[in-house]
Structure 1
Amino acid sequence: MPSDRRLQADGLLVLVTILAAAGWFFSLYALQSLPTMFFMGARFLLGGLILACFGFRPLLSLGRRDLRRSVLTGIAMCASMMFWVAGLLVSDNLGVGAFICALGNIVAPLFGRVLFRIPVSRATWLAVGVATAGLACLSLKDGIGFSLADLYFLGTAVTNSLYLNLNNRYASRIPVMPLAAIQLMVVGLLSLATSAARESWPTTVGMEAVGWFLASVLISTSLRFFLLVRGQKTAPISHTALIMNLEPVWTALLALICLGTAIGGIQLAGCGLIFLALVLHHLPWRGMRAF
């Protein structure tokens, strides 16, 4: 039986998936009034500063090695978020995009093998095959080929798998609050630097946009990433990746409720295969050794 701490960690990760799904819509509505990189930079920098206020002392006590590791995970997170927001802006179906992003949970053990020599089970390779079939179905939705949004979301999956591995490796060694704070501030600073070079910042912002911005900062950024790092302190990468499979489900449901966009036809088959791959990947297979 799992320990109480393991169950608590799993519960936190389930909540993370719900907050992550909500974040798709908070961001989508905020970006109707705010420049993209400005929004991302302000959102993550403010979110990181909020966490830094609560973890001020542990943050100051970090050694250089832990600081470098925290910044490294923040850079990986930034790459993932930039791919994601680019896909968000051009996507016509957020539910499909969420399932493509979820492929990062399958790719994560492959990155673990390359980076940290963590054995990869044969079940993972089976899941990769099923997921590839799912992607093939998605590529047939408008003829053969992926849309621009699909390619951005694939980039999100690859870079997020790198982030998950780095985060899972370092979360057990670095205090939760400073690690999450540094990650968010790195994303914020890099995004604001990009915005300063390429965008015009708004002088006034409507109250509705402010509300969506604050929801993005407080709920889907500060709270979400703090709970993710907190959950990963106890949950192994296999648990994290399995539970993260719920995010595209919540996102697809919210897309249907909020935007009226449903997944149907060949897209539904493709998303179903991807979800099947995500589940197969983490079933307790017997007699399938890792290598």
Structure 2
Amino acid sequence: MLPERRGDLFILLATLLASAGWLFSKEAIAGLPPIGFIGWRFFLAALIMLPFCYRQLFALPLALLLKAAAIGLVMTLNLVFWIQGISNSHGIGEGAFIMSLAMLLVPPLAWLTFKERPTRSFWLALPIAVVGLFLLTMGNGLSFSKGQAFFLAASLSLAMYFNLNSRFARRIDPVALTCIQLAVVGLMHLLYSVLFEQWPAYIAPVTWGWFAASVLLATSLRFGSQTVGQKYSNVGNAALIMMLEPIWTVLISVFWYHEPMPAQKVMGCILILTALLSYRSASLLTWYRLRSKRHTPSA
């Protein structure tokens, strides 16, 4: 099998594991405190990844280590909003599509914080996404439910994380960077859980099963598959395959939770996906053009 095709398969596996992680998490927090669950999930995942990157971690300058940890704090905020969104929602499908809007929130945040003006493709995709969000979330009048508001906040904080991570952590090995940030997320959530959450006296074995699946499959194996896939896969293929995550999540939610998907919500999902595809396609086309110019020999 060609390395690029193998990379695409690893990226596809990562999207399936990520979407399954929504289910694992929602089932696990039925018997575990949500913040404590996230804390142990990410801290244990960091420990699992540690043997694969400890040499790179010891070789990191202190400044880069602190920078990676600081970006992990933004990731912490994102996970707080995300798990609260899951806790306050019946299903998980519409939340996955709201979270996918993070890719469209990256350009305006980059404009505000780094003075980088969005491209024309962003302004063309934005109104399509806004209409899609309206159809997806406004089924009960002009108001967000609590779960939807948390997912939108999670999408915004995820966009900020993408902006910071892409600029301040380029010189760090990706596995080491992931390990640092997972550890920061885990430790911060565990600290909050110790101070403010009450753990149940008895936790059912099935809950521990969902917890183990979250740690081993949806976190460790997912990030590992994504890292390997990005190493071999074409960047354009990887970006488009990653957009399948909300689709898998909707299918899981409809099957497992019987989440209602009336025509209005389906159209909202389609519009959001259309906006993301159009924006991604334009961005990748620009990237390919710049790459081809760099590799074209001068006359």
**What is the TM-score with the length of structure 2 in the denominator?**
0.85
SS in 2 for 1:283: helix
Q: Distance in 1 between matches of 2:7 and 2:118?
A: 23
Per-residue displacement from partner, 1:54-108 (whole Å, max 9, x unpaired)?
A: 2222111111122022212211211111111101011123111111110001112
- Count of equivalent residues: 286
Hey, what does 1:279 align to over in structure 2?
Answer: 277
> Which residue of structure 2 lines up, in the alignment, with residue 98 of structure 1?
96
The equivalences for 1:34-53 within 5 A come to 34-53=32-51
Structure 1 residue corresponding to 2:65, chosen from 47, 64, 67: 67
**What code does the residue aligned with 2:258 have?**
G
Q: Runs of 5+ in structure 1 lacking a partner?
A: none
Distance 1:10 1:108, change over 3 A: farther
CA displacement at 1:126 relative to structure 2: 1.1
> Could you say which structure has the larger radius of gyration?
2
1:87 corresponds in structure 2 to 85
Q: CA-atom RMSD, angstroms?
A: 2.8
Tell me how far apart the structure 2 counterparts of residues 23 and 246 of structure 1 sit (CA, whole Å).
14
Which letter does structure 1 place at the counterpart of 2:100? A
Structure 2 spans left out of the alignment, 5+ residues: 287-299
CA contact (8 A) 1:106 1:241 kept: no
Report the CA distance between 1:201 and its aligned residue.
2.4
Aligned partners of 1:68, 1:37: CA distance in 2, in Å? 24
Equivalent of residue 267 in structure 2, options 255, 266, 269: 269
Paired position in structure 2 for 1:160 = 158
Task: Report the Cα distance in structure 1 between the residues aligned to 2:21 and 2:204, rounded to whole angstroms.
Answer: 19
1:16 aligns with 2:7: no
Work out which of the residue numbers 31, 51, 54 in structure 1 matches 2:52.
54
Which residue does the alignment assign to 1:148? 146
Are the aligned partners of 1:106 and 1:124 in contact in 2 as well (CA < 8 Å)? yes
Tell me the TM-score normalised to structure 1 length. Answer: 0.87
Aligned with 2:139: secondary structure? coil
- Among candidates 135, 138, 153, match of residue 137 of structure 1: 135
C-alpha contact 1:95 1:263 (8 A) present in aligned 2: no
1:206 paired with 2:204, answer yes
Deviates more, 1:48-57 or 1:7-16: 7-16
Change in 2 beyond 3 A, CA 1:240/1:70: farther
